Chains A and B, each alone.
Chain A
Amino acid sequence: MSPIVKKKGERFTLPSKYVLLILTAVCVSLMVITFNTDFSGGPLRDVVGVVIVPFENGVSAAGGYLKTRSEQLAQIRDLLAENEALQSQIDELTIENTTLQQERYELTYLRDLYALDSEYEDYEKIGARIIAKDSGNWFSSFVINKGTNDGLAVDMNVLAAGGLVGRIEEIGPNWARVLGIISDNSNVSAMVLSSSDHMIVSGNLSTYAKGVIDFSQLVDSDDVVEGDKIVTSNISDKYLPGILIGYISTISNDSNNLTKSGFITPAVDFEHLEEVLVITRQKNIPAEATGQVEEETASEE
C-alpha cells in the first residue's frame, strides 16, 4: 500500500499534510500569477457575484433601513427644535439666494468668456451604494453594488461629497471593490491647487487615526502653506485632474532640505460613507483625450 493513499473502508483519503502541501502550491502560484500579470480571479469574481453579493445587498439594505429608523426615532425631538431655527434661516437664505443667483449668471457668463471648464461637474457620474467594507482591519477598501454590467471598469475614479474617495481596483459583473485614498497601500499623484507643485499623497493607517494622511515629495518655493487645497495632478495616469483630495494640515521640511512632506486632511468623511459617485470617464482614453486637447489648443490660438 502506498503511503499517500490510505484505504479506509472503500473510500480513498489523502492525508491532510499532502492536501496542505498541494493547496500551498496553489496559493503560491496564484500569488505569483496575480502579482505578475493582469489576471485577478477571472471566473472566481463571477462566482462571488452570484453567491455573496446578493446577500450583501440584502443585508446592507436591511441594515440601512434599521439604521435610518432608529435614527429617525432618536432625532425627532432634536428636529423639532432645529426646524424652528431653520425656518428663520430659510428667510435669510431666500434673500441671499436671489443675490447669489444673480452672481451665478455673471459667473457662467465670465466662465464662457474665459472658456473655463467648470471643474468636474461635466464628468458623467453613476451613483452606487456601499454594501460591504474590507473584512480585515488593515486596509480601507469597500465593495459597491455596481459593476461591469453598469458600465464600470477598473481604475475609474470614485467621488463622494465633492472629494476624491479612491478608484476601482477590482470588479465583477455586479460589484466593484474601491480602494480608498486613506488605505495604507494607496498612493495618489497630487498637486497644490494654487501653485501646481506636484506631490505624492499616501494613505497611512496610523496617522489616519488622527484624521490625516501623508504627503511627500513636494518640491516648492516656500509658497505652499497649511490650509492649501490639494487636488489630483494632471500627470497621474489613473486619476482625472483637478479632483479635490483635501487640505494641508501640517507641512515640514524633509531632512534632505529639497523636498517637503506633511499631513493632509481628506475632504471626504470616510467614517460615514454610504453612497459614492463613480466617474465613468477614464483618464487614458488616448484618441478622445488627445483629440480634445488639440481642439482646445487650436481654439486658444
Chain B
Amino acid sequence: MNVKRFVFSAVTIIFSFILQSCVFTRLSFGGIIPNLLIIITASFGFMRGEGSGITIGFISGLLCDIFSGSVLGFYALLYMCIGYVNGKFARIFYPMELRLPLLAILGSDFTYGMVCYILLFLLRGRFAIGYYFLHIIVPEMVYTILVTIVYYPLILLINTRLEKDEQRSAKKFV
C-alpha cells in the first residue's frame, strides 16, 4: 500500500465518520441517519478487493465501537465481514456500472440492520420485528442509498485517479 492510498483511505474513514456523527445527526429525517461507514466499507470492498474491504471495515467498525458500542469489537467484526463479502464482488465490478454498487450497498445496509436487530434487540426480548424493520432498518436503507448516489461517485472518482497514477508509475519502472 503506497502513501497516497493510505492517506486517501484514512481521510475517507475519518471524514465519513465525522460526517455521520456530527453533520447528518443535524440532517436526520425522523431521527434516522444514513450509514456512511457502510457505504465506504462496501465500496472499498468491491473497488479494491477483499483485503481493503476487511481493513476499512475493521477500522470503521472499531470507531463505532469506541464511540457508541457497549462491547469493543462487535461493530468491528460486523463491518469487517461486510467488507469481506463485498470484496467477493470485485471480480464483476466495472467502474461505469452503477447497479452493482447500489445493490451491494443496499444489501450490506440491510444485513447490518438485521444483524444489529437480532443480536442487540431480539436477544434482549424485543420481539416487534415489524416495528424495527419499518421504522429503523428500511428508513436507514432508503436514506443511505440516497446519500450513496452523491457520495459513491466521489469515492469512485478519487479511486480511479489513484489507480491510473499507480499504473503509470508501474509502467515507468518496467
**Bound Cα distance A13, B76 (Å):** 22
Interface check B18, CB cutoff 8 A: yes
**Bound Cα distance A24, B54 (Å):** 10
B51 partner residues in chain A, CB cutoff 8 A: 13, 16, 19
9 contacting pairs across A/B (C-beta < 8 A): A28-B77, A30-B71, A31-B77, A44-B72, A45-B66, A52-B17, A135-B37, A137-B140, A138-B116
Residues B18 and A134 in contact, CB atoms below 8 Å apart:
no
**Bound Cα distance A167, B103 (Å):** 40
Give the interface residue-count category, chain A: 35 or more
- B63 CB, nearest partner CB in chain A, Å: 7
B72 partner residues in chain A, CB cutoff 8 A: 30-31, 33-34, 40-41, 44
Interface string of B46-81 (1 = CB under 8 A from A): 000111001000100011101110111110110011
**Bound Cα distance A208, B140 (Å):** 17
- B45 CB, nearest partner CB in chain A, Å: 10
**CB-nearest residue of chain B to A44:** B66
Summarize A's interface: helix, strand, loop or mixed.
helix
**Bound Cα distance A20, B51 (Å):** 8
Q: A16-B51, A28-B77, A134-B68 are in contact. Are A56 and B132 (CB under 8 A)?
A: no
**Bound Cα distance A73, B20 (Å):** 27
Summarize B's interface: helix, strand, loop or mixed.
helix
> Which of the residues B26, B31, B66, B126 comes within 8 Å of A137, measured between beta carbons?
B31
Give residues of chain B (9-64) contacting chain A, Cβ–Cβ below 8 Å: 14, 17-18, 20-23, 25-26, 31-33, 35, 37, 49-51, 54, 58, 62-64
B126 partner residues in chain A, CB cutoff 8 A: 184, 205-206
Interface check A23, CB cutoff 8 A: yes
Give residues of chain B (104-139) contacting chain A, Cβ–Cβ below 8 Å: 116-117, 120-121, 124, 126, 128, 131-132, 135-136, 139
> Which of the residues B54, B64, B67 comes within 8 Å of A20, measured between beta carbons?
B54
**CB-nearest residue of chain B to A22:** B54
**Bound Cα distance A128, B61 (Å):** 27
**Bound Cα distance A67, B131 (Å):** 32
Interface check A248, CB cutoff 8 A: no
Residues A56 and B22 in contact, CB atoms below 8 Å apart:
yes
Interface string of A132-175 (1 = CB under 8 A from B): 11111111010100000000000000000000000001100000
Residues A132 and B73 in contact, CB atoms below 8 Å apart:
no
**Bound Cα distance A283, B159 (Å):** 52
**Bound Cα distance A51, B31 (Å):** 27
Residues A132 and B22 in contact, CB atoms below 8 Å apart:
yes
Q: A19-B54, A35-B71, A141-B68 are in contact. Are A133 and B21 (CB under 8 A)?
A: yes
**Bound Cα distance A219, B51 (Å):** 56
- A68 CB, nearest partner CB in chain B, Å: 12
**Bound Cα distance A241, B160 (Å):** 59
Interface check A27, CB cutoff 8 A: yes
Interface check B87, CB cutoff 8 A: yes
> Which of the residues B50, B77, B124, B135 comes within 8 Å of A24, measured between beta carbons?
B77
A-side residues, CB < 8 A to B, are 13, 16-17, 19-20, 23-24, 26-31, 33-35, 40-41, 44-45, 48, 51-52, 55-56, 59-60, 63, 67, 131-139, 141, 143, 169-170, 177, 184-185, 205-206, 209, 271
Closest CB pairs A-B (n = 3): A30-B73, A16-B50, A27-B77
**Bound Cα distance A241, B71 (Å):** 28
- B41 CB, nearest partner CB in chain A, Å: 13
Residues A138 and B120 in contact, CB atoms below 8 Å apart:
yes
Residues B33 and A137 in contact, CB atoms below 8 Å apart:
yes
Residues B62 and A206 in contact, CB atoms below 8 Å apart:
no
> Which of the residues B23, B35, B58, B76 comes within 8 Å of A59, measured between beta carbons?
B23
Residues B26 and A20 in contact, CB atoms below 8 Å apart:
no
**CB-nearest residue of chain B to A206:** B131
Most chain-A Cβ atoms within 10 A of its Cβ — which of B20, B32, B72? B72
> Which of the residues B23, B63, B81, B135 comes within 8 Å of A206, measured between beta carbons?
B135
Residues A24 and B140 in contact, CB atoms below 8 Å apart:
no
Residues A44 and B62 in contact, CB atoms below 8 Å apart:
yes
> Which of the residues B58, B64, B116, B120 comes within 8 Å of A135, measured between beta carbons?
B64
A24 partner residues in chain B, CB cutoff 8 A: 77, 80-81
Q: A136-B64, A209-B135 are in contact. Are A63 and B18 (CB under 8 A)?
A: no
A27 partner residues in chain B, CB cutoff 8 A: 58, 73-74, 76-77, 80
Residues B80 and A134 in contact, CB atoms below 8 Å apart:
no
